[in-house]
Structure 1
Amino acid sequence: MKKRWIIVADSSKARIFNAPMGGKLEELETLTHPESRLPEQEMSRDRPGLSLDGGGHGRHGLEPSSDPKKQEALIFSRIVADVLEKAYGDRRFEQLGVFAAPAFLGMLRDQMTKAVSGTVFLEVPKNISAQTTPEIQKHLAAELDK
């Protein structure tokens, strides 16, 4: 029987479960990234600079070069992908199911190595990371019954 994991994630929390075929989910690890939950004002460590208008008659604020919330989500997706890569290298799972908030799912998919991506048997763009283990078990069963 293949070792199967399920990961349930959003931009600030990822829960990893052992998911034996026909068995109950067992939570193995929870990864958190509290920086993703900070208000946007607190994420920007420095205020954007000021720029002179072309004619030198006024100043206006510059927009930040990137969305701080998106940057933090990207950082967390790299962390999660690294954890999955190490676990796969250690042969802790052979199949992977992923439930993730849609935007985060895309980021996570982009960060996974080909080896880890090749183990994905289920991918669901749904944020269920705050739900209880029995509720997640029901979502998994519903997806597998499709």
Structure 2
Amino acid sequence: MGNTVTWLLIADASKARLYSMHKARFLLDKHSKNLNLIGQFTHDASRMKGIDLVSDRMGTFGNGSFEETTLPKVHEAEQFALELLGHLKSARVENSYRDIIIVAPPSFMGLLHKHMPHEVDKLVVKRIEKDYTQYNGEELAQNLINHL
């Protein structure tokens, strides 16, 4: 029998938790004991104020036109998205999961989608544009069940 593990990524621009679960068991029992925390990630630079992240340099001039630099907070969020996606890509190569559910606020979901490798993207079975990073245990399980 093949891999039946579903991974669940709950993330925002500064923190993420990664769970494994057997979706059928979770849907049947609807209990947080069926969510196994396998990783926690933080990106402290995403929590900093924009002013603390920048130098005095503005945009740059290239080819006779002004090119605005990426906003520092967006840049840090992108770096965190790339870090998370790198982990998912490595785990996919190791066959650690069959499919994945991603839960993130719309702005961070957009960054994840923008940089998601094709081989990971085809394993995403559900995208939920919500911020569940503050939920643990039963709260998380109860909110997830409404979307699965």
Short-chain TM bin: 0.7 to 0.9
**Aligned 8 A contact 1:48 1:64 in 2:** no
Match of 1:110 in 2: 114
Asked if 1:91 corresponds to 2:98, the answer is no
Structure 2 residue corresponding to 1:27, chosen from 25, 37, 41: 37
Give aligned-pair identity as a percent: 25
Match of 1:129 in 2: 133
The CA distance in 1 between the partners of 2:45 and 2:68, in whole Å, is 18
Q: 1:53-72 residue pairs with structure 2 within 5 A?
A: 65-72=69-76
Rg: which structure is higher? 1
Asked if 1:43 corresponds to 2:45, the answer is no
The CA distance in 1 between the partners of 2:48 and 2:92, in whole Å, is 31
Q: What TM-score results when the alignment is normalised by the length of structure 1?
A: 0.83
The CA distance in 2 between the partners of 1:111 and 1:94, in whole Å, is 20
Asked if 1:141 corresponds to 2:145, the answer is yes
Matched residue type, 1:88: R
Asked if 1:9 corresponds to 2:11, the answer is yes
How many positions carry a matched residue from both structures?
131
Decide whether aligned partners of structure 1 residues 64 and 114 sit closer, same or farther in structure 2, where only a CA change above 3 A counts. Answer: closer
The CA distance in 1 between the partners of 2:14 and 2:77, in whole Å, is 7
Runs of 4 or more off by more than 4 Å in structure 1? none
Gaps of 5+ in 2: 27-33, 59-66
Q: What TM-score results when the alignment is normalised by the length of structure 2?
A: 0.82
Matched residue type, 1:75: Q
Structure 1 or 2: larger helix share? 2
**Aligned 8 A contact 1:96 1:120 in 2:** yes
